[in-house]
Amino acid sequence: MTKQELITQIQQKKSFLCIGLDVDLTKIPKHLQNHDDPIFEFNKQIIDATHHLAVAYKPNIAFYEAYGIKGWSALKKTIDYINRNYPEIFTIADAKRGDIGNTSTRYAKAFFEDLNFNSVTAAPYMGADSIEPFLAFKNKFTILLALTSNKGALDFQGLKTTRGDELYKEVIKTSLTWKNSENLMFVIGATKAAYFKTIRAIIPNHFLLVPGVGAQGGSLKEVCQYGLTKDCGLLVNSSRGIIYAGTDQNFALNAQKEALKLQQEMEIILNENN
């Protein structure tokens, strides 16, 4: 998918909602538990009920790996289902990978080719040659961890270097010098809405994937105040707040209601901004 196709989708749906498919078998409705593939069935129903309100789905790979081959199979069925039925949707493998050069190429192939995701999240600690293999894939996006939304985020990301910037800014600035850096997007946690202004001064146009709205306490309005660009430039993720909105036969309908609330907030914000 091209960046322009993502932007067009955002304009058509009046939404920049990403739904996190972090499926925990202990949290899905009881009536699905005896299904052949409860994880996939849960995802399928959530996707069918919300695809017109969301522009992206983001399975966190940990939730699938935790179930071994069964989980990996459910992940493959899920991404295949999205690609076949809703090809306009932007798909994100939230994998936070990063390894030595030729090994990163392996991960890139796993997510971009074998599974056919549009994008993958990656961790910057190992530097240029751990990320450039991902960036080499055309019309695929690498979403680099910059400022995350967890409690320990600032343990290292917040360390100021002798060059004058905190590590997360060094990561963003340095990554812009890498080959094919136009294929970069960045993870910026919404619990730090105040940081968006500084970040937009460094990367005025790159898309930001924003977790932490809702369950983790971030405010959509604050994020948009500083984070929005003329092309939107934001993908705001909600996982638990949507997919576990209901616990019975109506779980997909409840998820749809929660997604609709966020989409409507987003529509107002987008209208206000152009």
Q: Which residues bind a copy of itself (CB under 8 A)?
A: 22, 60, 62-63, 65-69, 72-73, 76, 96-101, 103-104, 106-107, 109-110, 114-115, 123-130, 145, 148-157, 159-163, 167, 170-171, 174
Query: C-beta of 2: minimal distance to a copy of itself in Å?
Result: 25
- Whether 173 is catalytic: no
Q: Which residue in 76, 77, 96, 257 is the catalytic one?
A: 96
Query: C-beta of 236: minimal distance to a copy of itself in Å?
Result: 16
d(CA 273, CA 225): 10
φ, ψ for residue 69, nearest 5 deg = -60, -40
Residue 66 CA: distances (Å) to CA of 22, 50, 156, 195: 11, 25, 27, 33
Both structure tokens of 166: 């905190």
Query: C-beta of 43: minimal distance to a copy of itself in Å?
Result: 16
d(CA 150, CA 212): 8
Our CB check for a copy of itself shows the closer of 174 and 219 to be 174
d(CA 88, CA 8): 9
Both structure tokens of 248: 């019975």
Our CB check for a copy of itself shows the closer of 32 and 128 to be 128
Residue 141: other Cβ atoms inside 10 A: 27
Pairing, β 141-147 against β 208-210? unpaired
d(CA 133, CA 98): 10
Query: C-beta of 79: minimal distance to a copy of itself in Å?
Result: 11
Residue 158: other Cβ atoms inside 10 A: 13
Our CB check for a copy of itself shows the closer of 50 and 104 to be 104
Query: C-beta of 14: minimal distance to a copy of itself in Å?
Result: 29
Residues forming the active site: 96
